[in-house]
Amino acid sequence: MKRENDRLVSTDDLRKLDMLQWVDLVSVQVLLQNCPVMTLLAGDTLLEAGTANRTMFMVFEGRFGVYLDSNCQECIAELSSGETIGEMSVIDDRPASATVKALEPGRVLAVDEDTFWLLVAASHAFSANLLVLLSSRMRETNRTISKNIRLRQRFEQEAKVDILTGLHNRRWFDESLPRMVGRHMRTNQPLSLLMIDVDEFKKYNDTHGHQAGDAALSKIGAVLGSRMRPTDLMARYGGEEFVVMLPLTDSAGAFLAAERIRNTVAAETATLPPEGEWLTVSVGIAQLTAGETSESFIARADGALYKAKAAGRNRSEMG
């Protein structure tokens, strides 16, 4: 529990405070003579988020943790000797925005609202220090916001990338295909789709192990990444299936792209162990037709893929 200390605040204590730099300490002592010095033990709560606060606390000694979460698990900042706590809620007359707890035993000077505004009116230096503090806090907040935005963007990016192959994943494809279909419908430009499936991959996986299977899928992902145009959009659709969107490409161009992929995969996977065995792929091809939905578009490409499988695998078929 925090306890009040009736001892008069000393000039030596006041010199520790950033807010009182270049302030006439003699005149300040008079204003602060009725402000209590409070002693806190480790774990004591100085401020609680969401509760009214009309006091600015000046830290003489100790370290204090700032928490935004209600259970105080993650400390987002630390405040220590010379710094102030709670000044924002005094200024804007709003509840405390964070919980502040003592991380170790400490001493603070509790400056009530009336005394706070008397200090602002009486001392230009105090007002200047307050502006510097608020500017610093605002800059720190902006840095935190920017960091959080970057983290969110990173998490969103990682959530749409397949870790094994480095290609986009099914979630990304499901979000992107309707946009691509809508764009090509509006511009009346061709759009083609390739559905690619590794032939007899389960047998390969069962024979050589999952590690070999992962290496093979990674290799095929690399083939797609290196053999397609910068404007082509690729994703791992699931398991051993891949999908490629080919903007501004008609069915004839899509067939050439499919054959290039099919031949390159056979050549590249021949370098994987065990020697003398390679993987092939079957490819289903569809070109977007007028008025077609994204669901119908992908269903036709998927149907063409099944046709290629039924016709003996290691081939490309039109849908």
Please give the positions annotated as active site: 240
Sign, CA torsion 197/202/204/209: positive
DSSP 143-206: HHHHHHHHHHHHHHHHHTB-TTTSSB-HHHHHHHHHHHHHHHHHHT--EEEEEEEETTHHHHHH
Phi-psi group of 260: left, alpha or beta (phi > 0 → left; psi -120 to 50 → alpha; rest → beta):
alpha
Q: What is the largest CA-CA distance in the chain?
A: 96
DSSP 122-150: H-HHHHHHHHHHHHHHHHHHHHHHHHHHH
User: What long-range pairs does 315-318 form, CB within 8 A, spacing at least 24?
Assistant: 315/262, 315/282, 315/283, 316/255, 316/258, 316/259, 316/262, 316/282, 316/283, 316/284, 316/285, 317/282, 317/283, 317/284, 317/285, 318/251, 318/255, 318/285, 318/286
Scanning 62-112, the segments in alpha helix (DSSP H) are 87-92
Q: Are 29 and 38 in contact (CB under 8 A)?
A: no
The residue written with tokens 């170790």 in the block is 104
Q: Are 141 and 76 in contact (CB under 8 A)?
A: no
Backbone angles phi, psi at 230, to 5 degrees: -60, -25
Classified as helix, coil or strand, 207 is helix
